[in-house]
Structure 1
Amino acid sequence: MDKFTRITSFEQWFSPINLTLFEEQVKIHQLNYYTKKLYMASFMKLLLYAQLHETESLRALSDAVFSDDLQRTIGFESISFSQLGRRINTIPTEFFQTLFLDLVSQIHQKTDFQKQRKTTTPLKIIDSSTLPLNLTNHKWAEFRKTKSGVKLHLRLVFMEKGLSYPDQTVLTNAIEHDRGQLEVFIDDKECLYVFDRGYLDYKRFDRMTDDGYFFVTRLRKNAVVRVLETFSLPEDSKVLSDEMVVIGTTQNRSENVFRRLEILDTKGSELTLLTNRFDLDADEIAEIYKSRWAIELFFKWMKQHLNIKKFYGHSEQAVHNQVYIAVIVFCLNVLAQMNTNSDRSYLEISRYLKAALWKSAHIWLRKIERKNVP
């Protein structure tokens, strides 16, 4: 406990960021050259603080440095918003990507990801979400006459007990189609990939099947299919139909056979699923696809509780940097939950952290370690 009395809750929360890796990346990208005050370590703390407090602008962040506690943490008493703006516009996004991937690696180790995949097939859910931008300030991201935006393509690891966390991200302009990112995210034959119909590509499905990758996706109702065999279903099955099919027209037909299932969603609407897994029963496939909802919840949580609604900079680099800071914050909350074996939600962990930000770390840890009472 003594070591926690010497650091604040804020310092304890961001302590999983690998300082050795951090300094290596600072040197590689020469981020502290010709810097008189706003060194990367201090700037990183400011960006994390801004995410926690959902600080809407660099001017507001500059004003927040008035806090004595924040001054002690970052090592200076004032900073102009123009200096902050220059910084976030010039840091290579690869810097934040590297920190994010290192945190993902730590989460993998905490979940014993490699060991668990020997006994169960991990699910990796793929989807994207568009983050709107101001067209006047972000013309580089224009995708309609009146709109600008970037698209966050993301792969979410979904494991037992509802644990979900992002392990790979790609940022593109919103005009980019989802299909082009699918091959970027498909890289592990031991996993089962779940994605929506925005990624439909019959030729790619053939390549994935030939290469030994497994998936569950949603098929359009008007898709052309030829039924080869109909499988029987248990009387208590919630699945409406289960068939072996080939997909596509005569001119553009799949080379492999697939499995088509009709299911009902929670609202009673019919969904058509497509998969290349024939070894699982139909109800298992239906439940696997329903797990895709986890990534919808992730995007909703990010947009509600992380600072990606208003962006600090106008450049592509500044926008991408802010998004990566947001996913870094999410990973830090995941690690806080795992390191304390807490059943507190990420939102509760974040709220308690803000309440005890400058207090001794053990106060925050003690609070989030407590189990929720049913």
Structure 2
Amino acid sequence: MHKHTTLPNLMQKIVSDEDLQSITEAVGYHDTSRTFTVRTLVDFFLLAALHEWKSFRHGADVAKMYGLPTFHYSTVSKKAKEVPYEVMKRLFALVVSKCNRQTRRSLRFPKALRIVDSTTVTVGKNRLTWAPYHGERSGVKMHVAYSPEQQMPSDIVETVGLRHDGPVGERLTDVQTVLVEDRAYFKIERLDRFVEQKQPFVIRMKDNVEIHQKKSLKRLSSSSSSIVADFTCQLGTKQCRSKKRHRVVIFQDANGHEIRVVTNVLEASAEKIAEMYQERWTVEVFFRWIKQYLNVPTLFGNNEHAVYNQLFAAFIAYVLLRWLYHRTEKRTTSSLTFLSFVRRFFSGQLPLEWKSEMAAVLFEYARIYGRSMPNFG
């Protein structure tokens, strides 16, 4: 199994040529190239993320080694600018949909969690003139809805770096899940609206929020519990106060700092609410991982399409790696962490059992969906 071609080939099996054509047609893009197609651009950016290519020129120089056709770096640069990034964004959504159907994980909580947060990618001020940030930097934000059960992003909204998280978070809600968010998304009017919309949430409160008509909830005391208080109340000052009563849970984190979260989840214990919020740290780990291992901070292009095409492709690469890891892990007796799997996969040092089971997973997927699997084995 060639480590250089595994994920591009897997991508081709998960997203057929018919799928890709439907997406490009829906976006209104007509691919006239016969050599460097949209499919080739997708493969280029997948490989660039996985193998940490430094630029379009670097990718063009090593392309042949990775199974790509020979091309000049200006060809891929032009293609990246030309293809609407909505194509790559829809490809990401399709890959997530197909991979999540294949990766079911047991829930630790009564409902699945949906953690919403953002990460910023910055470069020099003159690189992205359409995306000014702070000082001598320009940058873009990727606002992510992350599933800790699937250990995958489930939805992404792209904006310039100066866009505030709160309003964008409105586009990442889902009433079928418990929304878990940090203080940047806290707004009293929003909490009242979530109650009316029956959107479950666990959101960290800002430190200066006033509490009105506090009423403690009955609970079993435990000396080992991190819970400091559990009560219902109205939030805010007289000039801006919540119309609804909300549940507030105060707990101590591992460093002894008090954290106040507000929620409309009433059937769970205060300890479980604290656990839900603490799952928010998994998205921080995810952001660090993609920046460290998927070349995300190295932006190749300068225009909007080139930048977002590259970033969405990096997220696709992550989802494919996670899918491959989860599916293979279920079939093996030896244990590997996800990070160890990725490192060994790309260094050619996977245990024989993992190689064998990974090949079986890929061929099984091909058989079920009636796809051929060239370049494997």
The TM-score with structure 2 as length reference comes to 0.85
Distance 1:86 1:363 in 2: 43
Paired position in structure 1 for 2:301:
313
Tell whether the 8 Å contact from 1:13 to 1:336 is kept in structure 2 after alignment.
no
Give the 3-state SS of the residue equivalent to 1:47 in structure 2. Answer: helix
Deviation by residue 1:192-238 (Cα, 9 ceiling, x = unmatched)? 11000000111111111111111001112211111431124412332
Structure 1: gaps spanning 5 or more residues:
none
Structure 2: gaps spanning 5 or more residues:
361-377
Q: Which amino acid aligns with 2:241?
A: R
Candidates 199, 212, 224, aligned match of 2:185? 199
Give the 3-state SS of the residue equivalent to 1:140 in structure 2. Answer: coil
Q: How does 1:265-284 map to 2 (within 5 A)?
A: 265-284=253-272
Paired position in structure 2 for 1:219:
205
Deviation by residue 1:277-301 (Cα, 9 ceiling, x = unmatched)? 2221111111111111110101010
Question: Relative to structure 1, is the Cα distance of residues 11 and 139 closer, same or farther in structure 2, using a 3 angstrom cutoff?
Answer: closer
Candidates 115, 118, 123, aligned match of 1:133? 123
Distance 1:88 1:364 in 2: 35
Tell whether the 8 Å contact from 2:127 to 2:302 is kept in structure 1 after alignment.
yes
Tell whether the 8 Å contact from 1:243 to 1:259 is kept in structure 2 after alignment.
yes
Question: Relative to structure 1, is the Cα distance of residues 367 and 305 closer, same or farther in structure 2, using a 3 angstrom cutoff?
Answer: farther
Distance 1:251 1:9 in 2: 59
- Which has the larger displacement, 334-343 or 278-287? 334-343
- Which has the larger displacement, 261-270 or 16-25? 16-25
Question: Relative to structure 1, is the Cα distance of residues 156 and 330 closer, same or farther in structure 2, using a 3 angstrom cutoff?
Answer: same
Q: Which amino acid aligns with 1:128?
A: S
The TM-score with structure 1 as length reference comes to 0.86
CA RMSD of aligned residues (A): 2.6
The alignment covers a number of residue pairs equal to 349
Give the 3-state SS of the residue equivalent to 2:227 in structure 1. Answer: coil
Q: Which amino acid aligns with 1:126?
A: V
Q: Which amino acid aligns with 2:194?
A: M
Candidates 56, 63, 67, aligned match of 2:54? 56
Say if 2:282 is the partner of 1:294: yes
Give the 3-state SS of the residue equivalent to 2:60 in structure 1. Answer: helix
- Which has the larger displacement, 7-16 or 132-141? 7-16
Paired position in structure 2 for 1:32:
31
- Offset at 1:260? 1.4
Tell whether the 8 Å contact from 1:52 to 1:306 is kept in structure 2 after alignment.
yes
- Offset at 1:94? 1.2
Deviation by residue 1:97-151 (Cα, 9 ceiling, x = unmatched)? 11111111123312348xx78x931011011111112211111110224221111
Distance 2:230 2:353 in 1: 54
Distance 2:238 2:161 in 1: 33
Paired position in structure 2 for 1:331:
319
Tell whether the 8 Å contact from 1:349 to 1:368 is kept in structure 2 after alignment.
no
Distance 1:330 1:219 in 2: 31
